[in-house]
Structure 1
Amino acid sequence: MSTNRITRFPRPAVLVALVTTAIALIGVGTALAATPAAQAFHEQPLVPGTPCTVTANACVDLDSKQSWLFEGGKITHGPVPVAIGGPGKETPVGHSLRVYRKEELHRSGEYTATNGEPAPMPWSVFFQDGGIAFHEGRVDTPSAGCVRLTKENAMTWYNNLEVGDQVQVVSAAAVHAARG
Structure 2
Amino acid sequence: MSRTERLRRRRRVLVTGLVLVAGVGLGGTAIATADPEQSRVAQQAHAEPAAPGTPCSASVRACVDLETRQAWLVRDGRVADGPFPVTTGGEGKATPVGHSFRVYRKEADHRSGEYPGPDGRPARMPWSVFFADGGIAFHGGDLSRESAGCVKLRTRDARRFFETLQVGDKVQVVNGSVERRHRAEGRGHL
Q: If the TM-score is normalised by the length of the shorter chain, which range does it land in?
A: 0.7 to 0.9
| Aligned match for 1:123, one of 113, 124, 127 | 127
Q: How does 1:76-155 map to 2 (within 5 A)?
A: 76-155=80-159
1:105-146 residue CA offsets vs partner (Å, 9 max, x unmatched): 101021122443211111000000101000000112211100
Question: Amino acid of the residue matched to residue 108 of structure 1?
Answer: S
Structure 2: which 5+ residue stretches go unaligned? 1-32, 186-190
Alpha-carbon contact 2:53-2:79 (below 8 Å) kept: no
In the superposition, relative to structure 1, how do residues 141 and 115 fare at CA in structure 2: closer, same or farther (>3 Å)? closer
1:70-106 residue CA offsets vs partner (Å, 9 max, x unmatched): 0110111100100001111100000010000000010
Misfit runs of 4+, over 6 Å: none
Alpha-carbon contact 2:101-2:132 (below 8 Å) kept: yes
Answering whether residue 75 of structure 2 is matched by residue 71 of structure 1, we say: yes
How far 1:49 moved relative to its partner?
Answer: 1.2
Question: Amino acid of the residue matched to residue 160 of structure 1?
Answer: T
Question: Amino acid of the residue matched to residue 166 of structure 1?
Answer: K
Mean alpha-carbon deviation: is it higher for 86-95 or for 105-114? Answer: 105-114
Superposition TM-score, scaled by structure 2 size:
0.74
Q: Which residue of 2 aligns with 1:39?
A: 43
Q: Which residue of 1 aligns with 2:167?
A: 163
- CA RMSD for the aligned pairs? 1.6
Alpha-carbon contact 2:70-2:83 (below 8 Å) kept: yes
In the superposition, relative to structure 1, how do residues 45 and 110 fare at CA in structure 2: closer, same or farther (>3 Å)? same
Q: Secondary structure at the match of 2:81?
A: strand
Question: Amino acid of the residue matched to residue 94 of structure 2?
Answer: E
Percent identity of the aligned residues? 54
- Aligned counterparts of 1:167 and 1:160: Cα–Cα separation in 2: 12
Q: Secondary structure at the match of 1:82?
A: strand
Q: Which residue of 1 aligns with 2:11?
A: none
Superposition TM-score, scaled by structure 1 size:
0.78
In the superposition, relative to structure 1, how do residues 115 and 52 fare at CA in structure 2: closer, same or farther (>3 Å)? same
